[in-house]
Chain A
Amino acid sequence: MAFAFLTRYRTVAAPGYSRWLIPPAALCVHLCIGQAYAFSVFNLPMTKLIGITQSAPDDWKLTELGWIFSIAIFFLGASAAVFGRWVEEGGPRRAMFASALCWAGGFFLSALGVYLHKLWIIYLGYGVLGGIGLGLGYISPVSTLIRWFPDRPGMATGMAIMGFGGGAFIASPLSVWLMSQFSTPTHVGVGETFIVMGLIYLCFMMVGAAIVRLPPPGWAPAGYVPPVRSSKLVTTQNVFVYQALKTPQFWLIWWVLCLNVTAGIGVLGQASAMSQEMFKGQITAVAASGLVGLFSLFNMGGRFAWSSISDYLGRKNTYFVFFALGTVLYALVPHSGTIGSVALFVFCYAVIFSMYGGGFATVPAYLRDIFGTRYVGAIHGLLLTAWSMAGIFGPVLVNYIREYNITHGVAPAQAYNITMYVMAGLLVIGFICNAFVRAVDPRHYLKETERGGVAPAAAPAGE
Chain B
Amino acid sequence: MANDRRAPNARASAATGNGLKLVLAWGFVGIPLAWGVIQTLVNAIKAFH
CB-based nearest A residue for B2: A222
CB-based nearest B residue for A215: B1
Chain B contributes a number of interface residues (CB within 8 A of A) equal to: 32
Contact of A31 with B33 in the complex, beta carbons under 8 Å: yes
Q: Which residues from chain A contact B48 at a C-beta distance below 8 Å?
A: 287, 290
Does A181 interact with chain B (Cβ within 8 Å)? no
Contact of A17 with B25 in the complex, beta carbons under 8 Å: no
Chain A contributes a number of interface residues (CB within 8 A of B) equal to: 39
Q: Which residues from chain A contact B36 at a C-beta distance below 8 Å?
A: 166, 168-173
Q: Which residues from chain A contact B29 at a C-beta distance below 8 Å?
A: 24, 27-28, 31, 163
Contact of B47 with A224 in the complex, beta carbons under 8 Å: no
Does A20 interact with chain B (Cβ within 8 Å)? yes
Contact of A291 with B44 in the complex, beta carbons under 8 Å: yes
Question: Would you list which residues of chain A between 189 and 238 have a CB under 8 Å from chain B?
Answer: 207, 211, 218-224
Most chain A CB atoms below 10 A, which of B1, B41, B43, B45:
B1
Q: Which residues from chain B contact A343 at a C-beta distance below 8 Å?
A: none
Q: Which residues from chain A contact B30 at a C-beta distance below 8 Å?
A: 24
CB-based nearest B residue for A162: B33
With A169-B39, A173-B39 as known contacts, state yes or no: A287 contacts B47, CB within 8 Å: yes
Contact of A15 with B22 in the complex, beta carbons under 8 Å: no
CB distance from B21 to the nearest CB of A (A): 6
CB distance from A146 to the nearest CB of B (A): 17
Does A62 interact with chain B (Cβ within 8 Å)? no
CB distance from A169 to the nearest CB of B (A): 3
With A169-B39, A170-B33, A294-B44 as known contacts, state yes or no: A16 contacts B1, CB within 8 Å: yes
CB-based nearest B residue for A222: B2
Name A21's contact: one of B3, B21, B32 (CB within 8 Å). Answer: B21
Contact of A289 with B26 in the complex, beta carbons under 8 Å: no
Contact of A297 with B37 in the complex, beta carbons under 8 Å: yes
Q: Which residues from chain A contact B37 at a C-beta distance below 8 Å?
A: 166, 169, 297, 300
Does A145 interact with chain B (Cβ within 8 Å)? no
A31 to B33 alpha-carbon distance, docked (Å)? 8
CB distance from A392 to the nearest CB of B (A): 27
Q: Which residues from chain B contact A166 at a C-beta distance below 8 Å?
A: 33, 36-37
Interface string of A15-36 (1 = CB under 8 A from B): 1111011001101100100000
A163 to B36 alpha-carbon distance, docked (Å)? 11
Residues of A participating in the B interface, judged by any CB pair closer than 8 Å: 15-18, 20-21, 24-25, 27-28, 31, 163, 166, 168-173, 207, 211, 218-224, 286-291, 293-294, 296-297, 300
User: Could you list some 23 contacts between A and B, CB below 8 A?
Assistant: A15-B1, A15-B4, A16-B18, A18-B18, A18-B21, A21-B22, A21-B25, A24-B25, A24-B26, A24-B29, A31-B29, A31-B33, A166-B33, A169-B37, A171-B36, A173-B39, A211-B25, A223-B2, A293-B40, A294-B44, A296-B40, A297-B37, A297-B40
